[in-house]
Structure formats: C-alpha cells, structure tokens
Amino acid sequence: MNETLMLTILTIITAATPLVYAAIGELVVERSGVLNLGVEGMMLGGAVCSFAVAHHTGSATLAIVAGMLAGMLLALIFAFLTLSLQSSQVATGLALTIFGIGLSALLGQSLVGIAFEGLPRLHVPWLSELPVVGRLLFSHDALVYGSFAIVILVSWFLNRTRAGLVLRAVGDSHDAAHALGIKVIRVRYMATLFGGACAGLGGAYLSLVYTPMWVENMSAGRGWIALALVVFAVWQPGRLLLGAYLFGGISILQLHGQALGINVPSQLMSMLPYLTTILVLVLISRDRGRIRRNAPASIGQSFYPTT
C-alpha cells in the first residue's frame, strides 16, 4: 500500500476521533430532549485541563480523566441552569461556549508553547504485525479504539436496553414520561453529564494527540461541527460515525492539499469543513418529514412538572 495513502488514512482517523466523541455525547443529550449548544466550550475545557494534567503529572490516564471531569463540570453548570432553574437552553448553551472559551484561555496561559509527546500507541499483539491492516487498524492509541466502542455502546444502550428506552421516552414526550413516574429531570441531568464527559474527551484528544499541545481556542469550531453531525446522523449513532469520518477527511484536505499539488490559498482550503457542514445540513434538513420523524420531539423544551 502506498505510504502517502496510508498516512492520509491515519490522519483522517486522528481528525475524526474528537468529532466522534463530542458528537456521540451530544447525540445522547439530544435524545433526552436537551439541546446543549455549549459543546465547543466543553471541548476547550476538556482540552486545557487534560493538557495541564498531562504536563504536570506525565500520566496520560489521569489526563484523560481530567478532560472528562472538566467537561462534566461545565455540563453540570448547564444542567443546573436549564434543568433546575428553567433557563433557556439555547441562551445557556451559548453562555457555556463563551465561558468555556474565556476560562480555557485563562487556565491555559502558562501552557502555551509546551509540547507533549502524545498518547502511547497500543499495538494489539499479533494483529498489529499484519501487513497494512496491522498499522491501519491495530496500532492506535486507546482513545481511537474507545471512540468506536462508545458508538457501539450508545447504539446498544439506546435501542436495546430499558434505560435507553426511558431516555428516549423523556426526549420524545417529557409529560408522558413524567406521568409514567419517570424522573425526567434526573434522566436529563445524567444525559447532560454524559455529553459533557464525551465533549471533554474529544477536547482531550485534541490537546493530547491531535496537535499535541495547547493553543488558545484550538477546537476551532469542532464543537459546532459536532452539533451539525448529530443532525447529519438524524440522531442515529451508526450514521454519526460515517459523518465524523467524512468530516475528518475534509478537514485534512487542507494539510494534504499542498502535497497533492492543489494550489489554492490555505485560508480558502480551511473553509472547507465549515462550508461542507452547511451543505450537509441543507441536504439533510430539506427533508422535513425525515427530521420530524427522527428528531426527539421535546428537544429544547424546558420541563416543569405540573403535578
């Protein structure tokens, strides 16, 4: 197999992985009827905290945990405001993004310009020795394997477990779920925290593996692209994986464009992921019936128990 092609595929995987995490988390949040527009802020929080911990302790495991916790903490603020204090989900999500950008820049002041050696690659014994597929499929860091595992787990959870059914019920009709005795607010809290942990993980992947260093505002809109991916996936985990890899491929075009002899200014190449996001949203959203059939019916609505 061609070496350039091999490297391209490996870069696509690193570019797609943070999107998979952030988007699968948001998918679960939205299936519970909550729209959290703060993904970008939570990713940055995760990125800066995990990088700080990696730098100070040298432990990749602790760094990953720190990224998840940071994302959860930020999600907790969102959950408290929207679920306990009935604030607008749209406004609160925007606030979370603005706050996350500012806070991460402040916390990351002393971390700018420091490098990190990245996560250790896990070579699956025997399988990674295989020609081509060994390097392509069985020689990644733990978070890449984790991203596939989490999509499968979420798919199983939503479609095959009772708890997943409860979560979907809450997202589709919180009043009916409440009438059945389901604790709507508690389910939504848990979903939102899960989303925060996933966004934090996505951020951690950016600062630990993708770059690997801390740069102010380094997520560069990936949190928003993750939100668009959930729509692209029409709230189905499997399609989300496809979308993330599509976007991963487009976002690395700018890196390989020059090498492939495409002579377009780098700024214009960098627009591609954002323009693709818009295009994809148009293609999916124009089918109103499909959106209506698949979108959680209570998405974005506050729940106040009347009885």
Partner 1 sequence: MITLQRRADPSRLMGYLAPLLALGITLLAGLLLFAILGVPIGAAFYAFFIEPVSSLYGWAELGVKAAPLIIIGVALSIGFRAQVWNIGAEGQLILGGIAGAAVALLFHENDGWYVLPLMILAGVAGGMAWAAIPALLKTRFNVNEILTSLMLTYVATLLLSWLVSGPMRDPDGFNFPESRMFHDAALLPRILEGTRLHAGAMVALGVVLAGWVLLTRTLLGFALRVNGAAPRAGAHAGFSQKKLIWTALMIGGGCAGLAGLFEVAGPIGQLLPSISPGYGFTAIIVAFLGRLHPIGVLFAGLVMALSYLGGETAQITLSLPLAVTGVFQGLLLFFLLATDVLINYRVVLK
Binding site for partner 1 (CB under 8 A): 37, 77, 81, 85-88, 90-92, 94-96, 98-103, 105-106, 109, 216, 220-221, 224, 227-228, 231, 265, 267-268, 270-271, 274-275, 277-278, 281-282, 285-286, 288, 291, 304
Minimum distance from CB of 14 to partner 1 (Å)? 21
For residue 198, what are the contacts with CB-CB under 8 A and spacing of at least 6? Answer: 21, 22, 24, 25, 26, 28, 71, 150
Query: Given the complex with partner 1, which of 68 and 229 has the nearer CB atom?
Result: 229
Query: Given the complex with partner 1, which of 137 and 281 has the nearer CB atom?
Result: 281
Query: Given the complex with partner 1, which of 10 and 220 has the nearer CB atom?
Result: 220
- The token pair at 215 is 């740069």
CA distance 105 to 235: 32
Minimum distance from CB of 276 to partner 1 (Å)? 9
> How deeply is 54 buried, as exposed, middle or buried, from its count of CB atoms within 10 A (0-12, 13-18, 19+)?
buried
CA distance 130 to 28: 36
CA distance 117 to 55: 10
CA distance 205 to 70: 13
Query: Given the complex with partner 1, which of 21 and 232 has the nearer CB atom?
Result: 232
CA distance 57 to 51: 10
Query: Given the complex with partner 1, which of 151 and 295 has the nearer CB atom?
Result: 295
The DSSP secondary-structure symbol of 127 reads G
Minimum distance from CB of 128 to partner 1 (Å)? 37
Minimum distance from CB of 97 to partner 1 (Å)? 8
Q: What are phi and psi of 213, to 5 degrees?
A: -165, 175
Minimum distance from CB of 285 to partner 1 (Å)? 4
Query: Given the complex with partner 1, which of 9 and 105 has the nearer CB atom?
Result: 105
Minimum distance from CB of 109 to partner 1 (Å)? 5
